[in-house]
Amino acid sequence: MEKNSHNSQIDAVTLAVLKGRLEQIADEMDATLYRSAFNPIIAEAHDACHGIYDAINGDTLIQGKSGLPIFVGAMSFAVRLASRVALERGGMKDGDIWLFNDPYEGGTHANDFKLVKPFFRNGKLFCFLASAAHWHDVGGAVPGNYNPGATECWQEAVQIPPVRIVKDKELDQDVLAILLANTRLPNSLWGDLNAQLAALELGQRRLDSLLDEFTAPVIDFAMQELRRRACVLMRSEITKIKDGTYSFEDYLDNDGVEDDPLLISLEMRVKGDKLTLDFSNTAIECAGPVNISMATSVAACYVALKHLFPNVPANAGVLDAVEFIIPNGLLISASKPKPVGGYTETILRMIDVIFGAASLADPNLAMAHAYGTINALSIAGHRSDPLRKGQRWVMFSFFGGGHGAHSGGDGLNHGNAPISTATIPPLEILEAAYPVRFTKWALRNNSGGDGQYKGGMGAIYEIELLEEHAEVFIFGERGKFPPKGIVGGKPGMLNTFEYENEGQFLKPPMLSKMQGIKLKKGERVRLSTPGGGGWGDPANRSESQRASDADHLALHSDPKNGGTQK
């Protein structure tokens, strides 16, 4: 029997219980996908997310705790896109699931496939369940799709507009055939798609069960109330910041096509309980694939604000108190067909400038800059052993670095990027799946910026090819502009990528981006990732902390490479 049949008021305990129950649904969808996906970027690195979205405007109502926050922010745009397209084709229908990878209206980049499932209750649309996940390979000019030389979206990946992958509860075999024909790894795609469909199906069952217990009006009221309270809390946090205008800027190395720096500029204005983020002075759209869409930019701001104000609930209420000024035609508001495959690098720089501006308003509010690049690396080729001769393999992965120091202490050593809660894939998984061997996985000594509190250390990764031949690409950043310290802290080290040919290690002409690198058996690639920026004047670091720093170096230094073995 249903209970709590009115929604005019919910006591605080019941609201807290419902918040936990709703978040558990999203968490279970996340877990289902992670355990079922074929692709290590989803299964191990957790490059995915699930959430519950508003039936009217698509806004984020509930998100899981283990999914990528950048997806949760962008998925509200994706849900709105699916709703608009469905309306043009007869409307959302129970039993349908929409699929697409549009990175412009839907956010992020074309590897990230979004599935949107309308959830109906008693014949009426109640909300949307949505899933986003990074598929391993979806066509394009390079395996893994982070094409550093792309000048248009079709060079990055196949472009799939919103289509029904499921119609009246039946998988559309025609759409599936198109998807499988546009990947180098059809088994991986098939497994990942089924894992997402299973996650949405579980979400449907769990939400039905919850509504059976509490009724639709009560759950709807609870979700809207959680959003309202998030906005109230966000405005309360903003009032704690001194009124004023705080400007900060940073640069991307280049766009992978033209070797010119690209400005990311922010003017942050605070007045009472209103926060304005004005990016008007940011560089215009560029030729290469570091552009991002407006949807992705807003999602990046969402992630940064959640870092600054961790006690505010994670839903659309966070953004209700914020005004965004992002004119069209900028690097961070690009439109089709501008390439956007390297979106991760640009959103990391957006987060950096938000942290930097916040530190000017309150030095205790923000961290110094983290390492600022995911260093997307692909090593791909064909198997040569008799049992698998000619079989395609693509190792795509991302890598960690040091986090920025903060007012409470040193930065984290060898963490993952602050855009996500993803994990760095374990070397054991990568070595088991692909013909490579990690000959080095080490902390990079002294790579964090000095300060009263030091930035965390980056890492050194060295990977040897065990197959006869392979092709490599790297898509990174921070090769020219190091992670900045704040409040007098020093910058971290620069990012360095090298590849071995004929016994010599070479560097890309653009330092952080290159495609078409050829490796032969026994040759290696080497990544030395940045440390985080420091916080505060180095003169204020205590003698005991300096002694501990020295002891660490003495005990763990590797004289061959300046790294600390893990």
* pLDDT tens for the 566 residues of the chain, in order: 344 444 457 899 999 999 999 999 999 999 999 999 999 999 988 899 999 999 999 999 998 888 787 887 899 999 999 999 999 999 999 999 999 999 999 999 999 999 999 999 999 999 999 999 999 999 999 998 888 989 999 999 999 999 999 999 999 999 999 999 999 999 999 999 999 999 999 999 999 999 999 999 999 999 999 999 999 999 999 999 999 999 999 999 999 999 999 999 999 999 999 999 999 999 999 999 999 999 999 999 999 999 999 988 888 999 999 999 999 999 999 999 999 999 999 999 999 999 999 999 999 999 999 999 999 999 999 999 999 999 999 999 999 999 999 999 999 999 988 876 677 888 999 999 999 999 999 999 999 999 999 999 999 999 999 999 999 999 999 999 999 999 999 999 999 999 999 999 999 999 999 999 999 999 999 999 999 999 999 999 999 999 988 877 777 665 554 444 44
CA 249 to mean position of chain CA atoms: 21
- The number of beta carbons lying within 10 Å of the beta carbon of residue 427 is 16
Cβ–Cβ < 8 Å for 451, 536: yes
Antiparallel, parallel or unpaired: β 469-475 and 513-520: antiparallel
Its domain, for residue 115, covers: 12-232
Given this model, what pLDDT does residue 420 score? 67
Contact 309, 241 (CB under 8 A): no
Bridge partners (DSSP) of residue 564 are: 443, 557
| CA of residue 316 relative to chain centroid, distance | 18
Helix (H, G, I), strand (E, B) or coil at 12: helix
Residue 361 in domain: no
Residue ending a domain, choose from 192, 215, 232: 232
Tell whether 393 is covered by a domain: yes
Residue that is last in its domain, among 232, 262, 291: 232
CA dihedral 324, 330, 334, 339 (to 10 degrees): -140
Q: Which two tokens stand for residue 402?
A: 């040091």
Tell me if residue 228 falls in helix, strand or coil: helix
Is 58 inside any structural domain? yes
Dihedral (CA of 355, 359, 364, 369) sign: positive
Burial of 525 (0-12, 13-18, 19+ CB in 10 A): buried
- Rounded to 10°, the helix 294-308/69-88 angle is 140
Q: Quick one: CA dihedral 303, 309, 312, 313, positive or negative?
A: positive
**Domain for residue 383, yes or no?**
yes
Please say which residue of 232, 249, 276 terminates a domain: 232
Give the three-state DSSP class for 132: strand
Assess if residue 281 is contained within a domain. Answer: no
Is residue 205 a part of any domain in this protein? Answer: yes
Determine the number of helices (DSSP H) and then strands (DSSP E) in the chain: 11, 22
Q: How many domains does the chain have?
A: 2
Q: How many CB atoms lie within 10 A of CB 504?
A: 8
What is the structure's pLDDT at 5? 43
Residue 97's closest CA among 170, 187, 186, 173?
Answer: 170
pLDDT, residue 564, reads: 47
For residue 168, the 8-state DSSP code is: T
How many other β-carbons are positioned within 10 Å of the β-carbon of residue 308? Answer: 18
> Does residue 220 lie in a domain region?
yes
What are the residues whose beta carbons fall under 8 Å from the beta carbon of 329, sequence distance 6 or more?
284, 285, 335
How long is the chain?
Answer: 566
Which of 58, 56, 57, 38 minimizes the C-alpha distance to 48? 38
Amino acid 398: pLDDT: 92
Residue 317 lies in a domain: no
Contact criterion met (CB below 8 Å) for 537 and 530: no
Q: Are 453 and 460 in contact (CB under 8 A)?
A: no
Q: For residue 98, give the nearest of 123, 128, 121 by alpha carbon.
A: 128
Contact 367, 355 (CB under 8 A): yes
